[in-house]
Structure 1
Amino acid sequence: MKVIYKITYPNGKIYIGQDLTDSINYFGSANSNLIEQDFTQEQKRDFTIRKEILWESETGSKQEVNFKEIEYILLFRSNDPTIGYNRRPKFSA
């Protein structure tokens, strides 16, 4: 199963990603340095993130999955640095 997911961090910022294996243990490849800047050392010691499946397909092509990922990034504006951690496509205000 191929999926598009949304990760929500404790500060409310989000990350949209894709997983071609639907692994319960995969939480994306967001830039750790970007995320760490938003949390104190104390906050990093204990936090909860939420993973939601936004879209899934057993038959979708890689091209379709890539398209859907960008579609959801733009829909949720997760490429806006004030909203999320996606950096592509580049945000323009």
Structure 2
Amino acid sequence: MVEISPVVTKKVIYKITYPNGKIYIGKDLTNSLTYFGSVNDALVKMDFSEEQRKHFTITKEILFESESIEEVNRIEAKLIVQYEANNPEKGYNQWPKFLG
């Protein structure tokens, strides 16, 4: 008899880089290839013209992987601050609040 071990889905923290160089850091507890976060659409739209939106390329980079939700939750905020993704001049994260 063959034993099938349960599949453990890694949880990830990713960095999205937009064409203007600004970034967004988020977490994905399912490690989906097609998930690109819940960035505030209005903030991103303000930075791109209608013409620029017609051909738009972003990059998704995995910064951290873990099997632990608690660890991913803890590390996410640290990476947002480390990369200054919450600085409106550098990124689109609105939490934790940027203190300048």
TM-score in terms of structure 1 length: 0.95
Deviation of 1:66 after TM superposition, in Å, equals 1.1
1:12 to 8, 12, 21: 21
Aligned to 1:21: 30
**Structure 2 residue runs without a partner (length 5+):** 1-9
Question: Residues of 2 paired with 1:6 and 1:19: CA distance?
Answer: 11
SS where residue 33 of structure 2 aligns?
A: coil
- Does 2:70 correspond to 1:68? no
Deviation of 1:69 after TM superposition, in Å, equals 0.6
Q: Which has the larger radius of gyration?
A: 2
Task: State how many pairs are aligned.
Answer: 91
Question: Residues of 1 paired with 2:70 and 2:77: CA distance?
Answer: 11
TM-score in terms of structure 2 length: 0.89
SS where residue 7 of structure 1 aligns?
A: strand
Deviation of 1:37 after TM superposition, in Å, equals 0.2
Question: Residues of 2 paired with 1:43 and 1:4: CA distance?
Answer: 27
Q: Percent identity?
A: 57
Q: Which amino acid aligns with 1:80?
A: N
1:48 to 47, 57, 60: 57
Q: Which runs of 4+ in 1 moved over 3 A?
A: none
Question: Residues of 2 paired with 1:50 and 1:42: CA distance?
Answer: 20
